[in-house]
Structure 1
Amino acid sequence: MILQALTDYYRTLEGQGQLSAPGWSPVKVSFALCIDQDGTLERVISLQTEQMKGKKTVLAPQSIILPAPVKRSSGIAANFLCDNSSYILGVDNKGKPQRSAECFAACKALHEDILKDMNCPAADAILAFFRTWNPEQAAVHPALTEYWEDIMAGANLVFRFDGTFIHTDPAVRQAWNTYYQTADDGPEMVCLVTGEKGPVELVHPSIKNVQGAQSSGAAVVSFNAPAFCSYGKEQNLNAPTSKYAAFAYTAALNHLLTDRDHVYRMGDATVVCWAKGGGDAYQNLFGCAFFGQQTSYTLTDIQGTLKNLCAGQTVEFEAERLDPNMEFYVLGLSPNAARLSVRFFLRNTFGAFLQNVQAHQERLEIVKPSFDKFDTIPLWKLLYATIRSQSKYEPNLYEEARAQLDKNVSPVMAGETLRAVLMNTRYPESLHNGVVLRIRAERNITRSRIAILKAYMLKKYENLPQFGSIAEVFTMNLNESCINQAYVLGRLFSVMEKIQLASADWKISRTIKDSYFNSAANTPKIIFSRLFPLSEAHMKKLMRDKPGLATTLNQEKKELISKITQPIPVRFSPDAIDCFYIGYYHQDMKKKEEE
């Protein structure tokens, strides 16, 4: 299913002119070797361009559409018209001259095989170069002197003849296309992707730009040990894929991973998404609605667009017409040595995904503090809520939290959380448990943490009969009429804390929250029997120093005590503890609004 979806996407992008034809792919090239008709190297031209890397401008290789390079491991395999110095010049700085000679010989043989019997000046110049070039003289060749160190460092080289790149010559391009289509060494089998019978690709092209994977690329489909093989089929014959399908799905996936504006990180997973019909607008809106991607649209515009799409209506967005019935895919890949693990692959209509995201955001709705700039809580902030806080306040940018997320967030939990949101299923227990553990450890009640508890409980009891008995707790703002005992006690604890803080003449080094918060949420009967007399002592001092404030807080405290119509339990259940936290947060937000 994954390979089929990516192959279909390749066809879409190829039809739109965004991806090259089979046998061609973008390659990063640093230098061009200018040769004349008899193959003599005249000069070297740098193709590097100035590019931004972080805050600095650096010289970087230029991406050019060239004959698709082969996938190398440890063997010798030459590329056509573009390669490093070992293959093109027969020299390198690795200290293995014999291997360099073998690489040059392989490259020469490949070009002889493809360009033989051609009546083409460009092809004749290439062949003449390989026939006359002497690797032993490379180090002292005047044309190579200026860029010698960069070339020896592994830079890719291409050829120029008569003022143009040789790979642009029509006759040379046709020769490569013919070779690529006929050079099949795999046995004939039925392709699992296209369903057509023909030669299969033994080694698939590499996937690059997955965070944490090898920089040279990794494989989605790969077999490298007898335990992974069956019926004597080696390499990728266990998952027969035609040459076209192998090129198509890897080209489409590499295109998605190269587009950094639409690549996201969840734990150790690199996440990409795409619409079957192509178009950046689908990706942009999805990234804005789900991942918190920055946009020039106002919140009102985004909400209106999402509302219409969720209602099944087509909308205009970024000069594109978005169809809620468009098939949409979300893929998460994690590094695994030289291979890639599929963390998740989700498929649905675009409108259905947005409906699930909207339902998720509605469950998360909770009153927010004034310093919180997020109108909705993006997924990365939910994951950040499960790790140790670096400060009292949560970060406002993903970049600020990225290192902590990559280091501390469980990749399994991140994937399960994303799946739960997009498929509208129950949130993982690990997300809930992670938040509860952080609250107990830090006693830091943040918007994201309480939003997770609220959403988790709403989804947990969504279709259960007992939901009605605790639904009054899970409101966006403070519910003054709620009589849920745990919720009321959470509010009462917040009021008692404010009384203590207001009665102090100086900054308190240890509040009742520091001493009793965790115990009050777990064993309320014992702790509140201590808190009531302690709060009365604080109230007496407050009455003496600030009678007006004391009267207001005392009245609020009495109203909350009047809502406790049953004996305070010895111990709260896990669900009641969540209600206690939510009650405390609601009351705490009310305090801050009044201050």
Structure 2
Amino acid sequence: MILQELNRYYERKAAEPEAAIPSYGTSIENISFALVLDENGKLLNVEDLRQEGAPRRPRKMVVPAAEKKANGIKPNFLWDSTSYVLGMDNKGNQKRTNRCHDAFIQQVRTFCLINDPGLQAIISFYERDYQTIADRPDWPEICGTNLVFRLSGTPGYIHERVAARDAWKHCMGQREIGTIGQCLVSGKAGQPLSRLHPSIKGVRGSQQGGADIVSFNKQSFESYGREQGANAPISKEVTFNYVTALNLLLANYSRQKVTIGDTTIVFWAEHKSVAEELFANLLAPEESKSQTAKTEEDSQTAEKIFHLLKTIRSGKRPGDIVPELDESVRFFILGLAPNASRLSIRFWISDSVETFLIHIGNHFSHLEMARQFDNEPEFPALWRLLCQTATLGKNENVLPALAGGMVKAMLNGGFYPQNLLAVVLGRIRAEHKINYFRAALLKAFLVRNKKMEIPMYYDPNRKDVPYLLGGLFAVLEKAQSDAIPGTNATMKDRFFAAAPATPARVFPLLLKNAANHIAKLRKDPAKTGWAINIEKAIQDSIAHLANFPTTLSSEDQGLFMIGYYQRVKDLYTSKNNTVNTSEEN
């Protein structure tokens, strides 16, 4: 299914006139320099093709398809590194470099004996002393890079000439055909099957040279006596199509790619749709409409995404915000993660745009929580939420399975990973800190996985014991901070981890200390009214507690943390609550 849809996506892009996608037998590679030759093969110049900038980067260029070399010696056609093209590099193994260079020259002399000025110039080039190129002052920059050839006074490059293309077709036809069979993807019979599939590049954490989705490179991976190519029978043309399509989606400039944790996500529609432009921002929205955009266009896009997210979160149809969006379009989302020399399929989800929007809207609805600060995003990006589960808040410390599970739950509407609750509680206990993002994660987990009803703001009428205890802890903490401002060791520092785990052991001690704090506040005439309100709030909470539970389950501890967070927010921002903060001063 995955390879079928990637093959269709390639065919769709290839049919678009404006799409710069390589055709079968070609690939897009990094090219740094061109050897400029005259018709007699004399090297006139080495043209720098790299893009301007610091540092200068190779240019992306369509060339004859790259060989998958692994550890073998396989020259590319009319382009390659200096090891193959010039027989010189800085790898320190000249014997192997000479073999690479001989293979390149042999291929040129075998397939380029055509009456064409460009091809004849390359043949003549190898009859001259071309290794003096190493005397050039810019040789250190040239050494090790990929080179192409250009005929002086002629536009384009030699590998683009009609004669060169014909020579390349002949070269491909002479190569080992290998196993013939029916293609598993296209269904066509009598097709040459791929034994090795080209590498997929652009997945975070994978090898620099790329990795494979389909790979059978050892006899132990074969089954039922099938050869490696027949074990996953995919034609060479379909192999080229799906790899090219996936590499296009994974390119650095791609807007159809999002990376969350160790999972690289690509997405596309069955036909051209505005959804492909919107989904990156829907999967990873950043900040709210108040964020200052760099350009007017960025500002308009951010505003549209913000209103679209508000629309789908409320369960309304997005047609008013994006009227050109066809919600019936089939949409595909693929999650990839590195796994040694291969790629792991973290998830594959296929559904209509409408269904995905419903699931994303539900995700943000479950996350909806009173923000601690006004500048925090109303629609927090998943990567920001996941960083709250990681040691030191670093993206690289996010648990891989947790990241993939969170993305999948967001997209298919399923349960959040079961370990999400334990991981978030663990970070809160370790850091003695619950913020907007962690409170939102706890709420989303309890609402979706445990079917609890949890409000966005503090609910003074809620009587759940864990919720009451969390709110009570917030009031007791406020009493201490007002009575003893600037204390070195607060009750939060000492008891925040133990209070939700063993309430019966901790809260009697906290209440005893609170009595002293309230007594101290009463002695200050400016805070007498505030002390009375705190005492009332404590009594209101205790009135609904028959006794303090010995311990709380993980779910109840999550509810405790939400009650604490919302009560703190209420204490410091609300004017109409049980504890009237206006009397504090």
Q: TM-score, normalised by structure 1?
A: 0.87
Alpha-carbon offset, residue 507 of structure 1: 0.6
**Match of residue 358 from structure 2:** 355
Question: Offset at 1:181?
Answer: 5.9
Percent identity, aligned pairs only, is 33
Distance 1:79 1:484, change over 3 A: same
Q: Structure 1 residues 302-311 or 66-75, which shifts more?
A: 302-311
In structure 2, the CA distance between the partners of 1:498 and 1:355, relative to structure 1 (3 Å rule), is: same
Structure 1 gap ranges (5+): 52-56, 391-403
The equivalent of 1:223 in structure 2 is 216
**Structure 2 CA distance for partners of 1:283 and 1:509, relative to 1, 3 Å:** farther
Look up the match of 2:547: 567
Map of 2:117 onto structure 1: 121
Q: Cα offset for 1:299?
A: 6.5
Cα distance in structure 1, aligned partners of 2:92 and 2:498: 68
Contact 1:427 1:456 in 2 (8 A): yes
Residue 382 of structure 1 is matched in structure 2 by: 385
- Of 264, 274, 284, which residue of structure 1 is paired with 2:268? 274
1:522 aligns with 2:501: yes
Q: Counterparts in 2 of 1:134-149, with a 5 A limit?
A: 137-141=129-133, 145-149=136-140
Report the secondary structure of 2:87's partner residue.
Answer: coil
* Contact preservation (8 Å) 1:122, 1:161: no
The size of the alignment, in residue pairs, is 556
User: 1 CA distance for matches of 2:60 and 2:161?
Assistant: 18
**Residues 286 and 380 of structure 2 are in contact (CA less than 8 Å); yes or no, is this contact kept in structure 1?**
no
Partner of 2:81: 84
Equivalent residue for 2:515? 536
What is the aligned partner in structure 1 of residue 257 from structure 2?
263
* Gap runs ≥5 in structure 2: 288-297, 575-580
1:388, distance to aligned residue in structure 2 (A): 3.1
User: Which of 397, 418, 423 is the aligned partner of 1:429?
Assistant: 418
Counterpart contact for 2:268–2:332, Cα < 8 Å: yes
| 2:65 corresponds to | 68
Decide whether the 8 Å contact of 1:221 with 1:236 is kept in 2: no
CA offsets 1:13-45 (integer angstroms, 9 cap, x no match): 111223121112211111111122222222221
Aligned mates of 1:526, 1:30 — CA distance in 2: 70
Aligned match of 1:508: 487
The structure-2 alpha-carbon separation of the partners of 1:111 and 1:576, relative to structure 1 and needing over 3 Å to count, comes to: same
Task: Specify whether residues 140 and 175 from structure 1 end up closer, same or farther in structure 2 by C-alpha distance, changes over 3 A only.
Answer: closer
Q: Which residue of 1 aligns with 2:284?
A: 291
Q: Write the deviation string for residues 260-288 of structure 1: whole angstroms up to 9, x where unpaired.
A: 54433233222222223245x42442222
Q: Which of 176, 179, 194 pairs up with 1:187?
A: 179
Residue 102 (structure 2) aligned to one of 79, 102, 105: 105
Offset of 1:567 from its aligned partner? Answer: 2.7
Is residue 2:32 matched to residue 1:41? Answer: no
3-state DSSP of counterpart to 1:58: coil
Q: How does 1:337-352 map to 2 (within 5 A)?
A: 337-352=340-355
Using the TM superposition, name which of 542-551 and 93-102 deviates more: 93-102
Instruction: Give 1:542 deviation, angstroms.
Output: 0.4
1:186–1:200 CA contact under 8 A, matched in 2: yes
The verdict on how the C-alpha distance between 1:486 and 1:86 changes in structure 2, with shifts beyond 3 A counting, is closer
Q: Sort the Cα spacing of 1:256 and 1:298 in 2 relative to 1 into closer, same or farther, 3 A.
A: closer
Q: Distance in 1 between matches of 2:471 and 2:65?
A: 65
Contact 1:315 1:321 in 2 (8 A): no
Shift of 1:179: 4.2
**Counterpart mapping for 1:173-572 below 5 A:** 173-177=165-169, 179-180=171-172, 183=175, 185-197=177-189, 198-258=191-251, 259-278=253-272, 281-293=274-286, 296-297=299-300, 301-302=304-305, 304-305=307-308, 307=311, 317=322, 321-370=324-373, 372-389=375-392, 404-406=394-396, 408-462=397-451, 467=452, 471=453, 474-504=454-484, 506-545=485-524, 546-564=527-545, 566-572=546-552
Q: 1:183 Cα shift?
A: 4.3
Counterpart of 2:158 (choices 166, 170, 183) is 166
Q: Which amino acid aligns with 2:564?
A: Y
Residue in structure 2 matched with residue 400 of structure 1 by the alignment = none
* Aligned equivalents of 2:281, 2:208: Cα separation in 1: 29
In the TM superposition, what whole-angstrom CA distance separates every residue of 1:393-446 from its partner, at most 9, and x where no partner exists? xxxxxxxxxxx211x111111111111111111111111110011122222011
- CA shift for structure 1 position 303: 5.0
